[in-house]
Chain A
Amino acid sequence: MLRRSDESLLRLSRIAKTFPGGVEALAGVDLEVRRGEFLTLLGPSGCGKSTILRLIAGLAPASEGEIIWSDGARPQIGFVFQDPTLMPWANVFSNVYLPLRLAGLTRANAAPRVIAMLSRVGLGGFEKAYARELSGGMRMRASLARALVADAPLLLLDEPFAALDEITRFALNDDLLALQRELKTTIVFVTHSVFESVYLSERIAIMSPRPGRIVDEIAIHSPDPRGEAFRVSASFADQAGQVSAALRNAMAVSSAP
C-alpha cells in the first residue's frame, strides 16, 4: 500500500441531507477521504450512498454540516453513473471529448488526450462508434474514459458495474485498479456488493439504512497488485466474512430505537 498516504483530501463533517419531500436521506455523516486511496461506501439500497457522492460532487447542497477540502476548494471531479450516460447522438470520441470541450479545448488540441485515454480503457479504434453499437461493458469503458480524460484528481463512481455480467465486471474491476495505480486518482466507489467492495477497496465505509450514517470503517489488507489469486484466497474470504458481519450489524443498528 505504498501509494496510500494518510493525508486528507476531503472531510465530511456532520453532513445531513433532507429532501424537499421530507425524506431524511443522511443524518450526521462523518467521513474522511484520503489522498490517493480507494474508498468504498457499502450499504443497503436507499441508504444514501449515492447522495453522499452527489454532495461531494457539488450536484446537490447538504442540509446541514460541511465538506472541508484540504486544498481549500473542490477540485475537478470525474463522475461515473450507474448507467453509462453517453450522449446517443455523439460518437465515442465526442462523448469522451466533452469534459475537455467544456473546459475550452479545441477538438484538435484535445484529440491526442482523448485517443490516449480511449486506448487506455481498451476502446482504441472505437472512436467513431455510437453508444448503441457498443456492448454494455464497452459503454461503461467509454463512460470511465470520459470521467478520467480531464485528469480529475478525484473520481466518484456510483455502482457503475452493477448492471454488467460477472465476467465483464471482473475485467472492469481489474482495469479500474490498474488505471488508479497509473493515474494516482483518489476514488470513492459506491456499491452494494460485499465481494466487489473487498476486491477493490483499501478502506470500506459501511452505512446504516436510511437515514444513512457511517457505522463502521474496515481496512482491507491485500497483496499489491490485486488479481485473480486474491479473489480466491482465504484472506479474501475472511475479509468478505468480516465485512458481511459488519453490514449485518449496521442493519441491526438502525432497527434499534
Chain B
Amino acid sequence: MATTTSAQNHAGATGSRRSGSAPAAPVGTRPARRDTKAAIGFLSFNVTGFTLFTLIAVVLSVYISLFNWPLSGGRTSFIGISNYRAALGSYGFWRVVLNTLYFVGVYVPLNLIVSLTLAALLGPRVHAIKGKPFLRVVFFLPVVTPLVASSLAWSLMYNQGGIIDTALGWVGLPAVPWLSSGAWAMPSIIIMSLWLGFGYNMILFIAGITNIPDSLYDSAEVDGAGLFRRFFHVTLPLLSPLVFFGTLMTLITSFQVFVQAFVLTGGGPGNASTTMVLDMYEEAFRYLRLGYGSAIAVLLAIMILIVTAVMFVLQKRLVFYEH
C-alpha cells in the first residue's frame, strides 16, 4: 500500500502546488463546524519551530547578505548589494561557480545513466540475474553511510601509491595524481559521489518499474520488441515522472555538494575543487564574513530555483503522464 501511495505521490510532491490549493474538505457544503481550537493545539509546536527556524531563517539569509557582518564581533553595517557586487566581480567566486557546475554537469548525468541501467537490470523484468535483493542492498549501502567516514575511506584509497593506483597498475594503467592535481581533484570527487549517490535513484526507479503493468511488456514482446526497445519504448516513458523527480532531487542536492570536497581535498589544490557551499562555509566561518557568506548562499539558492523552474518547463515536454 505504502509503495503505491508513495509512487503516486512524487508527482504530488513535485506538483504539489496544484493539489495543495484544492480544498480537501468542501467547506461550503458542510455546516460551519470548524476545529480551529484543536488545530491551534496540534499546530502550535510545529508552527513555532517552523516560523523561527525555517521562515525567519530564510528571510534572515537575505537580510544578512545585505550587511557587512563580521563574525569576530566587530560592528555590523548595512552595505546594500555590495556583497553581491563583490562576489560577482571576483574571479574566485566564478571559479567556485564553475567548479559547482562542473560537478553537477558531470555527476548528475552519470548518476542517472548508472541508476537507470541498474534499475532496469535489477527490477522485476530481467529474470537472468541471481540474488537481486542482495545486489540492491549492496548498491544502496553507500547512500546511507555517513559521508565523512566514506570520504575518509576514499581519501585513503586515492592516496598516492594507494590501492586504486595499485589496481590501475595491475591492468597496465599509469598512476593518477587523484587528489593532488588540479585537473584530477574534481573527477575524484565526482567518482566518489557517483559511488555514494546512484543507489538512491536506483531503488526509486526499481519501485517505479515494479509498478508498470505486465501487460504492456507482454504486448511489446508480442510485437517483437527486444530488451532495448522495451526499455526505451515502455520502461522509460512510463518511468518518466519518477525520472523527473529523481533528476530534480539529484540536481538540488548536487548543487549543495560539500562534505566530499571538505574531506577529500579541502577545496584544493588551490581552489580547484572548492564548491559553492564549501566557499560559503569558509567565507563565513574561516574568514568570519557572515554577510558575504550569506550572499553566496542566496546566489546558490537562486541558481537552484532557476534550475528547478527550467526542469518544470522541460517536464511539460518530456514527461509522459498517463492521465
The yes or no verdict on A and B being binding partners is no
Q: B residues within 8 Å of A by Cβ?
A: none
Q: A residues within 8 Å of B by Cβ?
A: none
